[in-house]
C-alpha cells in the first residue's frame, strides 16, 4: 500500500494523477500547507524539505519526497507511463525541464501575480515574461505532436503528467491558452482523461478542472 502525503497544488496533483492512471490502491494523507502541517515532526521524517508531495511505499519501505523522483519511482515500479529505450532520455529531459523551469517559474508567477499583485512590478514582469517564454517552448515542442516526449506524435508519459497541473493554472498566470493552440489542444486532451479528472480532486474538491 502506498501512502500519498499531498495537498491540492500542482506538485501534489502530479502524483495523485499518476496513481489514478496506474489504478493502484493508495491512501491519502492530506497535509494542509496553509495550516503549516508541512512542518510537523511526523511529516519532516518523510519529507525533510517540508514540502508536499511525499510518499511511503509500505511494500518496499521506500520514503520519497520531490515530485520528479516520485514520478520516476512509481512509473518504473509499475512499468507504465515511463518511455523505454532512447525515448527515456527524451522523457527525462522534459521532466527535468518541468522540475527546474516550468514549475519554479510559474510558482513565482502565482506568488507575485495572483497573491501579491502590485507589490513588485519588476517581479511580476520578470516572471510573467519567463512564463510566456516557457509556454512558447512548450508550444513549439507540441507542433505536430500529441504528447511532450517520445517518438513520432509522442507517448503519454510522466513528462506530460508533470507539466499538465502547472498549465492547469493558466488563469492564475493570466495567460490565454488560445495564444498557444498546440498547448491548448494538449491540455484539453489530457484534461479529458478520467484519471486526470479524478486525480485533480485529491485530497479534496477545490474547483472544477479549468477548461480553455
Ligand atoms: N520541488 C518540489 C517542490 C514541492 C513544493 O514546492 N510543494 C509546495 C506545494 S506545490 C509546498 O509544499 N509548499 C509548502 C511551503 O511552501 O511551505 C517538488 O517538485 O516536489
Name the residue at shortest CA distance from atom 16 of ligand 1. 51
- pLDDT of 194-207, one tens digit each? 999 999 999 999 99
Q: How far is the centre of ligand 1, averaged over its atoms, from the C-alpha of 173 (Å)? A: 18
Domains of the chain (ranges, CATH numbers): 2-81 (3.40.30.10), 87-194 (1.20.1050.10)
Q: In angstroms, how far apart are the furthest CA atoms of the chain?
A: 49
Q: Torsion angle, CA of 58/60/61/65, rounded to 10 degrees?
A: -90
- pTM equals 0.98
Give mean pLDDT, residues 93-106.
98
- pLDDT of 41-73, one tens digit each? 999 999 999 999 999 999 999 999 999 999 999
Instruction: Give, in order, the Cα–Cα distances in Å from 188 to each of 90, 168, 182.
Output: 23, 10, 10
Residue 98 binned pLDDT confidence (cut-offs 50, 70, 90): very high
pLDDT at 197 (0 to 100) = 98
Residue 88 binned pLDDT confidence (cut-offs 50, 70, 90): very high
182 within 8 A of 139, measured Cβ to Cβ: yes
pLDDT, the chain, mean: 98
- Residues in contact with ligand 1 by the CB-under-6-Å rule are 9-11, 33, 38, 50-53, 66-68
pLDDT at 126 (0 to 100) = 98
Amino acid at each position: 500500500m502506498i501512502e500519498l502525503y499531498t495537498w491540492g497544488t500542482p506538485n501534489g496533483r502530479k502524483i495523485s494523477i499518476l496513481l489514478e492512471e496506474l489504478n493502484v490502491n493508495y491512501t491519502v494523507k492530506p497535509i494542509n500547507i496553509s495550516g503549516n502541517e508541512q512542518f510537523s515532526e511526523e511529516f519532516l521524517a518523510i519529507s525533510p524539505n517540508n514540502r508536499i508531495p511525499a510518499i511511503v511505499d509500505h511494500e518496499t519501505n521506500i520514503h520519497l519526497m520531490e515530485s520528479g523522483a516520485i514520478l520516476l519511482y512509481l512509473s518504473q515500479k509499475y512499468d507504465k507511463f515511463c518511455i523505454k529505450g532512447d525515448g527515456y532520455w527524451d522523457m527525462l529531459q522534459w521532466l527535468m525541464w518541468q522540475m527546474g523551469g516550468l514549475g519554479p517559474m510559474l510558482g513565482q508567477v502565482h506568488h507575485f501575480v495572483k497573491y501579491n499583485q502590485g507589490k513588485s512590478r519588476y517581479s511580476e514582469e520578470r516572471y510573467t515574461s519567463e512564463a510566456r517564454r516557457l509556454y512558447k517552448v512548450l508550444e513549439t515542442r507540441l507542433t505536430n505532436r500529441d504528447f511532450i516526449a517520445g517518438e513520432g506524435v509522442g507517448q503519454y508519459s510522466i513528462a506530460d503528467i508533470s507539466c499538465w497541473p502547472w498549465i492547469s493554472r493558466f488563469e492564475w498566470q493570466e495567460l490565454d491558452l488560445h495564444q498557444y493552440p498546440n498547448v491548448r489542444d494538449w491540455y484539453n486532451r489530457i484534461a479529458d482523461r478520467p484519471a486526470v479528472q479524478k486525480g485533480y480532486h485529491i485530497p479534496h474538491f477545490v474547483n472544477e478542472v479549468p477548461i480553455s
